[in-house]
Amino acid sequence: MSENMQTHGKHWKSCCQWKCISQALLTFQTHTLDSIMDQYLSRHFLSIFSSSANERTLCRSSSELLLEAYFCGRVGRNNHKFISQLMCDYFFKCMTCKSGIEIFELMDDYFVELNVGVTGPPVSDSKIIAGLLLHRDFSVYCPADGDIRIVMVTEAIQPPFTTSGSEFFLNSETQFQTSQFWIMERTKAIMKHLNGQNVKLLLSSVKQPNSVVYYAALNGISVVECLSAKEVSLIQRITDLSPFVPQASSQYDISNTALVKFCKPFILRSKRYVHLGLISTCAFIPHCIVLCGPVQGLIEQHENALHGAFKMLRQLHKDLDLSYIRYASDQNDTLSIPVSKNRRENDQLVETGNKSIQRPYQDTVVKDKDDLEKTQTYLKVYSNLVVSDIELEAYIPCSTPELTSEDTFQIDETLRCLSPGEHRIIGDCAPLAEGNSIANSTTENMRTEIFCENLQITKITRKQSMSPVKYNSLDEGTCQSYYSSSIPAGSVLPVGGNFEILLHYYLTKYAKKCQSSEETMVSMLIANALLGIPKILCRYKNGKYSFPHLYLKALHALETNQPVVSSQTGLESVIGKYQLLTSVLQCLIKILTVDLIISIKRQPQKVHHQDSEDEL
């Protein structure tokens, strides 16, 4: 019994440890990771935009590299080049010069509507078709030339006999016949009117009564019925066409028509589709992908891969905000690069020291418990101010007030020594003022252009600033000089473990300077885990491409501040990678906080098989 108790005790104890690790992981994920992403990794980001002046345009060759790498694991070797080429052609055909993220949103949201799968022909028969293919046939098709006007309805054109909530008293047979007659006349008049307005195509989201189809045919109007809600909204987005409400006005005023270049039946493997040459009023030029394949499963696989690629591109086109704030002041120092920045929860903070590699300056750090406590109170006061002032989400979820002690130093490219202003500043305002006079911030414009396979990938121009003088600026009542960090849209890195090795490198570097062993441990843990990815990728490679070689080469390049050259040509989205990493961490955090798994055995329910069969 007592033994049992003891093992239980041990269990709970180890659970506490897990909980601590989980806590540390959470801190890492919410603070450390973001700051490292922003401060160090961002230097290595490439962009898929070829940035000329203020315009940012999607670079064709980088997009191809990005997609090829994306499809590598999702589409079989047989077709992966073809599919990535098809996709690239597709969105470049759909784009206008002014289109941006919205077309990727549209392609993602309406993916099903913009795609047609055809089983039977080989994959290489897949193609891109200008215009929109509706997944249904015409109810009536009347060939028409020239500019064709279309209207859209979302209800039956024929007036209903009765409307909902009303009662219709029939007193005589003639009354019934006249009302029927009136309904027909009204329908006829509406269709005639549409014809007068030069409308040649009626798109309807509902099934229209026989008479509507009949009078449409008599008036030379083609009809497509039963459009899905998605198709309706897609057409609305492309053409800015709002539905025509036949019952609303007696004048049947149709201000809302749109023009199409053509509208004709389209036959794909004996199935008929409606092919519309919509004239776009937005940044999306409508095109459809016809995906062919010998088996349905393969087409589905390709569809899913394409849809995933659109989602990836959609995310790639949006800045991703990080929960890390940068502070900037006016002084420029082109040579300094921030290397470390510690955040700590104040309850565990006993000592804040600068354990940087720059030993000679270590003793200049001021450590004073009393001063520290003062700072904490200052911070408690001002951190609220910060929140209200700039509405930073990152601060809101913190239940305990945080002391952000910032610890900076600079690496001179050649000498690696500290500038005079590099003092560890903890305490009251006096030393802070001092620090301010030699405020160290950097605004660094890095614009390195590297050439990779004849294509120009412009390094993102980044402003890197840093300043430890947060308290100071608060004292002066100004808060203009800090802003939140983000991963800029279009950031990519070469494939093949580049992201992992870079993050590993900076995490190990960071871990060495950490004060608490816990933080060091977590950083090292993640850093080493990251290395597993390139190891797997290089599993079957040897010689120049083997993992140790690759790793050492990258390390050397990083130490000497040279660009890290990848042996592979593909690119991958940084935002995607970052989100994946945070998801993995979240999952790990959750798993570690679970201390007991209780399995519930559900009793199998009784099956009344025979009874139900009898009933049938």
Which residue stretch of 41-49, 57-65, 292-300, 592-600 sits at the interface with other proteins (rule: CB under 8 A)?
A: 292-300
Structure tokens at 38: 């922003």
Task: Measure the CA angle with vertex 136, ends 230 and 224; round to 5°.
Answer: 80
Helices 498-513 + 574-593 axis angle, to 10: 60
Site for other proteins in 252-291 (CB under 8 A): 269
In the complex with other proteins, the residue whose CB is nearer, 303 or 333, is 303
Least separation in angstroms between CB 215 and other proteins? 7
Q: Which stretch binds other proteins (CB under 8 A): 166-174, 368-376, 426-434, 525-533?
A: 166-174
One of 164, 250, 399, 562 touching other proteins (CB under 8 A): 164
DSSP state of 284: B
Q: Is there binding between residue 78 and other proteins (CB under 8 A)?
A: yes
Question: How far is it, in rounded angstroms, from Cα 348 to Cα 192?
Answer: 81
Q: Contact, 325 vs 482, CB < 8 A?
A: yes
Q: Does the footprint of other proteins cover residue 583 (CB under 8 A)?
A: no
Q: Is 212 in the site for other proteins (CB under 8 A)?
A: yes
Rounded to the nearest whole angstrom, what is the least distance from the CB of residue 394 to other proteins in the complex?
41
Report the residue number, 12 or 168, with the smaller CB distance to other proteins: 168
C-alpha to C-alpha distances, 596 to 11, 18, 499, 591, 593, nearest whole angstrom: 10, 12, 35, 10, 9
Residues facing residue 485 across a β-bridge: none
Measure the CA–CA gap between 418 and 388, rounded to whole angstroms: 35
Q: What's the closest the beta carbon of residue 223 comes to other proteins, in angstroms? A: 11
> Which positions from 98 through 157 interact with other proteins, judged by CB under 8 A?
118-125, 140
Listed ranges 207-215, 230-238, 273-281, 352-360: which one lies at the site for other proteins (CB under 8 A): 207-215
The neighbour count for residue 392, using CB atoms within 10 Å, is: 17
Residue 145: name the closest of 224, 263, 267 by CA: 263
Where does this chain touch other proteins (CB under 8 A) — which range of 72-80, 94-102, 247-255, 353-361? 72-80
Beta bridge partners of 321: 486
Q: Is 169 in the site for other proteins (CB under 8 A)?
A: yes
Q: 218-231 in b/e burial notation, b at 16+ Cβ within 10 A?
A: ebebbbbbebeeeb
Structural tokens at position 604: 């199998």
Give the list of residues 6+ apart from residue 524 with CB closer than 8 angstroms, or none. Answer: 507, 508, 511
Give the interface segment with other proteins, choosing from 170-178, 353-361, 436-444, 518-526 (CB under 8 A).
Answer: 170-178
Residue 445 in the binding site for other proteins (CB under 8 A) = no
Size of the site for other proteins (CB under 8 A): 56
Among 165, 420, 477, 548, binds other proteins (CB under 8 A): 165
Nearer to other proteins, 1 or 170 (CB): 170
Q: Decide: helix, strand or coil at residue 440.
A: coil
Counting contacts by CB under 8 A, is residue 451 touching other proteins? no
Q: Does 176 bind other proteins (CB under 8 A)?
A: yes
Q: Does 437 bind other proteins (CB under 8 A)?
A: no
Residue 12 contacts other proteins per CB under 8 A: no
CB atoms within 10 A of CB 328: 20
Q: Does 170 bind other proteins (CB under 8 A)?
A: yes
Taking the complex as a whole, the smallest distance from the CB of residue 612 to other proteins amounts, in Å, to 7
Q: Is 73 in the site for other proteins (CB under 8 A)?
A: no
For other proteins, the binding residue among 101, 112, 130, 218 (CB under 8 A) is 218
Nearer to other proteins, 272 or 416 (CB): 272
Question: In sequence order, what are the residues at sequence separation of 6 or more whose Cβ sits closer than 8 angstroms to the Cβ of residue 7?
Answer: none
Please enumerate in sequence order all residues whose Cβ is within 8 A of that of 136, keeping only pairs 6 or more positions apart, or say none. 224, 225, 226, 227, 273, 274
C-alpha to C-alpha distances, 82 to 126, 196, 303, 518, 569, nearest whole angstrom: 9, 48, 13, 49, 17
Phi-psi region for residue 315, left (φ > 0), alpha (ψ -120 to 50) or beta? alpha
Structure-token pair, residue 497 = 């473990």
CB of residue 401 vs other proteins: minimum separation in angstroms? Answer: 49
Among 55, 161, 393, 591, the residue binding other proteins under the rule CB under 8 A is 161
| 296 binding other proteins? (CB under 8 A) | yes
Cβ-based nearer residue to other proteins, 173 or 370: 173
Alpha carbon distance 64, 88 (integer Å): 6
Choices 214-222, 370-378, 449-457, 495-503 (CB under 8 A): range interacting with other proteins:
214-222
In terms of CB distance, is 86 or 575 closer to other proteins? 86
Q: Candidates 163-171, 401-409, 427-435, 577-585 — which segment interacts with other proteins by CB under 8 A? A: 163-171
- Does residue 163 bind other proteins (CB under 8 A)? yes
Contact call for residues 246 and 263 (beta carbons, < 8 A)? no
607 part of the interface to other proteins, by CB under 8 A: yes
Q: Summarize as ranges the residues that interact with other proteins (CB under 8 A).
A: 76-79, 118-125, 140, 160-173, 176-177, 180-181, 184-185, 188, 209-215, 217-218, 269, 294-298, 602, 604-605, 607-609, 612
